[in-house]
Amino acid sequence: MSAPVLFSTFKTASGHVFGHAVLNNPAALNALTLPMIDLLDPQLKAWAEDDSIAGVILSAAGDKAFCAGGDVVSLHHASKRVEAGVVPPEAEAFFEREYRLDYRIHTYPKPMLCWAHGIVMGGGVGLMVGASHRVVSPNARIAMPEIHIGLYPDVAGTWFLHRMPKRTGLFLALTGAMINAGDAMIGDWADAVIEHGQFSEVLKAIEETTWQGNRNADSELLTALLKSFATQPIEPLLHTHAEAIDDVMNHNNLYDIDTELRVMQTHSEPWLAKAAQAYAHGSPTSAALSYELMERHANADLADVLRLEYQASVGCCAHPDFPEGVRALLVDKDKSPKWKPASLREIDHAVIEDILTPRFQGRHPLEDL
């Protein structure tokens, strides 16, 4: 079998080298597994420390997806091997190492081009957003749909969603709504929209460019190179429906937002109605947790965000909604989750605090970020 991540390098006109990492599990829409993380992170570290490497490219095999999210099905199966309320060690390992990888990408010392085509969800968005140069295809389908599985927008999602215009990020967190390439541009999730079919031409242009071996200069060169291939993105959904979204989200508490979203289920615009229906079908605990984290992360440092998200994610593994949500959506696929509690009004804030409570002994697993 081929490795789940493929690595290669190529020389450029200046003699500098680019590293190229390819997510290689197209049959599973390149869902991010722990073995993939354990291959990718040390290679990125090695390339960062190699003076001959001028930049790095991250892409994915297949035509359908860059990355459809983290491998939560494996975490679901792991949760079945431990007692209810106990965090499986596989979950602790996955979230720690995934967030370390995300942090490395956000703080990478060299230009990194993430080529995100087709489906980009959850953990895939986490890989994309942190890169210095983010390309999405015109047909990109992008979402943070964790509310459907009893989780929340992790991989620093509670940080970068908060930074979107007005409260559109909170709207996406609560509904898991699918957005397009234009939305990615206005939300600062992407820097250019380029046809996926031009990827080989972009690689050739990178190869034929004279790089400087200096981050700032090479970042400017890569920005200009990508601009020469860029196409106009389609109209952003968030911009088209900005007034309706603002009417729903412009409230000071989640209960009022909940009421407005439930009314929106019968909206005449299908995209808005579908988003509201998805919210109503999602985990109430996930909604409350997402709201709490986005409030806390208003002015937070990225490392602190990931540390608290680690606590939240392993806490979700000890809560019944996460395994139940994965079961209903991805394992049994009956799409009929039994959330506990079943409504927002039933949630005691102590439940949210319990999810966020540290479940490790001694130093934080991500203390050194």
Active site members: 70, 123, 146, 154
What is d(CA 176, CA 164) in angstroms, rounded to the nearest whole number? Answer: 15
Query: What is residue 87's three-state secondary structure?
Result: coil
> Residue 66 in contact with residue 116, Cβ under 8 Å?
yes
β-pairing verdict for 17-23 and 5-11: antiparallel
* Per-residue buried b or exposed e for 294-327, using 16+ beta carbons within 10 Å of the residue's own CB: beebeebebbebbbbbbbbbbbbbbbbbbbbbbb
What is the length of the chain? 369
Residue position matching structure tokens 């359908």: 64
What is d(CA 321, CA 301) in angstroms, rounded to the nearest whole number? Answer: 28
With both helix axes pointing from N to C terminus, report the angle between 89-106 and 302-317 in degrees, rounded to the nearest 10.
Answer: 160
